[in-house]
Amino acid sequence: MLHVALFRQRALLIAAAAVVVVFILWNVPALDFILYPLRLFVTFVHETGHGVAAILTGGQFNRFVVDASGSGFAATSGGTRALILPAGYIGAALFGAVLFYLVNTVPYPKTLALILALFVAGITVLFTDLFSTAFLVGIGFALVLVALWRWLDRGAVMLVLDVLAMITGLNAVLDLLFLINNTGATLGTVRNDAAAFSAEIAPLIPPVVWALLWCALAVGLLLVSVYYSVIRRVRPV
């Protein structure tokens, strides 16, 4: 029991440190060179979310791209569009929430880093073009995760994974907030997900409403993860 209590206290301290790191990264322009690859990884996760939703609803995940600007596009066929379209933002938020929960509840974060590396590498090999930006992002992050598993201690791995989880989950929320204020934004001839959902699935409801609903769901996922992984576990029973 003492070991469990110490793990929970350590997880809380590391999570708090991760919050400070994320705050600094977002508020110090000189550190944009660190945020940039993280932003590309968020897009990687976003597009993977579309593809996974397509597969889970009986469709196909053909490939996806990540642009150097941070935008991206997933090519899918079949499946349920009503679930595929919101799965980018919600998938990124879910990824961040689940990763944060696991980092702060599973006592083997280094193994978690290795499993995540294998997952990212698998997605990269199966669904990106060789030496494309998406390919480089996926392989690059997979190698970083392997390095965490191989060379860093458990506390350092927890900190890095916490930061990655927060950046991914919170960026999904920030992207949705941007979408709420810019529901007409496009990538070339490709509409944003909220506009596409409104046009294809529910034309009577404006895109901003869907963006608001997705944002609320994304925030809810993150709050639930924080509560059950950190807050609830350090409260006295």
- Which 3 state secondary structure label does DSSP give 144? helix
Name which of 140, 138, 141 is nearest 124 in CA terms: 138
As beta bridge partners, residue 64 has: 74
The pLDDT, as a whole number, for residue 149 is: 96
When pLDDT is averaged across residues 32-58 and rounded to a whole number, the result is: 95
**Does the structure show a pLDDT above 90 at 30?**
yes
Rg (the chain; Cα; Å)? 18
The pLDDT, as a whole number, for residue 3 is: 60
**Does the structure show a pLDDT above 90 at 189?**
no
Which residues neighbour 183 within 8 Å (Cβ) at sequence distance 6 or greater? 192, 194, 195, 206, 207, 208, 211
90 exposure class (CB count in 10 Å sphere: 0-12, 13-18, 19+): buried
When pLDDT is averaged across residues 176-201 and rounded to a whole number, the result is: 69
Report the Cα–Cα distance between both ends of the chain, in Å, rounded: 13
Q: Residue 236 — very low, low, confident or very high, per pLDDT cuts 50/70/90?
A: very low
pLDDT top residue among 17 and 190: 17
Q: Residue 4 — very low, low, confident or very high, per pLDDT cuts 50/70/90?
A: low
Q: Residue 237 — very low, low, confident or very high, per pLDDT cuts 50/70/90?
A: very low
Highest mean pLDDT among 86-100, 166-180, 201-215: 86-100
Q: Residue 165 in contact with residue 94, Cβ under 8 Å?
A: no
Q: Residue 107 — very low, low, confident or very high, per pLDDT cuts 50/70/90?
A: confident
pLDDT tens for each residue of 123-138? 999 999 999 999 999 9
58: alpha, beta or left, given left = phi > 0 and alpha = psi -120 to 50?
Answer: left
Using the structure block, give the residue that is written with the tokens 């696991």: 102
Provide the residue type at 92 as one letter. Answer: A
Q: Measuring CA to CA, how many Å separate 205 from each of 85, 197, 201, 208, 226?
A: 15, 9, 9, 8, 32
Beta strands at 186-187 and 72-77: parallel, antiparallel or unpaired: unpaired
**Does the structure show a pLDDT above 60 at 220?**
yes
Q: Residue 172 in contact with residue 49, Cβ under 8 Å?
A: no
The pLDDT, as a whole number, for residue 161 is: 97
Give strand ranges (E) for the chain.
Answer: 60-66, 72-77, 186-187, 190-191
Mean pLDDT of all residues in the chain?
89
212-233: string of b/e by CB count within 10 Å (b at 16+)?
Answer: bbbbebbbebbeebbeebbeeb
Residue 228 DSSP code = I
**Does the structure show a pLDDT above 70 at 183?**
no
Q: Residue 233 — very low, low, confident or very high, per pLDDT cuts 50/70/90?
A: low
